[in-house]
Amino acid sequence: MTDAAAPPPERRAAPPRAPLAFQWDKATFAALALAAIVLLGVAAPLIAPHDPDAVDLVSRSLPPVWNAGGTWQHPFGTDNIGRDMLSRCLYGIRTSFGIAALGLVFSSCLGIAIGIAAGLGGRLADRLLMTVVDVFITLPNLLLMLCGIALLGSEIWVLVVMIGLVKWEGYARLVRGQVLSLRETGYVEAARTLGASGWRIATSHILPNLASPLVVILTLAFPGVLLMEAGLSFLGVGVQPPTSSLGRMIGDGRDYLIHSWWISGIPALIIVAITLCFQIIGDGLRDRLDVQLDD
């Protein structure tokens, strides 16, 4: 037997506060840094000092400008066949970031849609969809991606789809769990009493309340997707030459690690920087959004 659970006398009304008010904390700095990196990538065709594919055997394996022997002509040095590292990195950011972003969008849309359908639908729909999810989770990611690429080729859209297919089930599970608990809230019940249809409940009530946890999860998931693309390209099955991606560059430079560390090293550092930014932003977002909810 349960009790007449009267909630405790209510707290004071919170004063209106702007959500995500601007504060100078490390998350903001990380966001600015990330924005700068992305902008550089976007503007690559305009600011790259050289053609990223231009081979120049005379100036091959030049070290970066801060090492002995470096020149300002090639601030990040050149690779083993004389291509300018800075230009390649800028274009590489563009490619890697683009593929990762598209892959994330694809997988999140798929995952969210299936998660909501499973959460709001009846028992049968839920079980069916979750079985599909379970099957996908058990398939080894790398193997799945390699099979897909082997079958469909190495075009960029294939990479996007494969990356998408590999991550969506995690989101589906998460979203389904959130939806199941949101379903029981007072306002969803009130909406049903008002006569709202399932569609209206999903769009007006469930989705907006999924937004904050989802934003945090997706932000923290981005580095993983980026590394997935980098991994594929490192193995040689991702982005194909002459298109440069950060992962590809790391792969190309692995034979020269001792003498020309910068060929692999600088793209790796860029990946680390982007990953770090995302992690800091994700953590900051989580703290901010939590505080907003339970203050």
Residues that bind other proteins (CB under 8 A): 1-17, 185-187, 189-197, 200, 204-205, 208-209, 211, 291, 293, 295
Q: Give the nearer residue to other proteins in terms of CB position, either 6 or 68.
A: 6
What's the one-letter identity of residue 98? G
For the bound state, the minimum distance from the C-beta of residue 291 to other proteins, rounded and expressed in Å, comes to 7
The phi, psi pair for 76, rounded to 5°, reads -100, 10
Nearest Cα residue to 106 out of 116, 118, 114: 114
Of the two residues 18 and 46, which places its CB atom closer to other proteins in the complex? 18
Minimum Å distance from CB 110 to other proteins? 24
CB of 286 to other proteins, least distance (A): 15
Q: How many CB atoms lie within 10 A of CB 246?
A: 30
Please name which of 185, 180, 160, 168 lies closest in space to residue 112, comparing C-alpha atoms.
168
Pick the closer one to other proteins by CB: 211 or 257.
Answer: 211
Spatial CB neighbours of 228, under 8 Å, sequence gap ≥ 6: 100, 103, 141, 145, 163, 166, 167
**CA-to-CA distance for 12 and 195, rounded, in angstroms?**
32
Structure tokens at 135: 């099957």
- Closer residue to other proteins (CB): 182 or 250: 182
Q: How far is the CB of 105 from other proteins (least distance, A)?
A: 22
Eight-class DSSP state of 55: -
Shortest CB 219 distance to other proteins, Å? 19
**Tokens linked to 164:** 């998408």
Nearer to other proteins, 68 or 194 (CB): 194
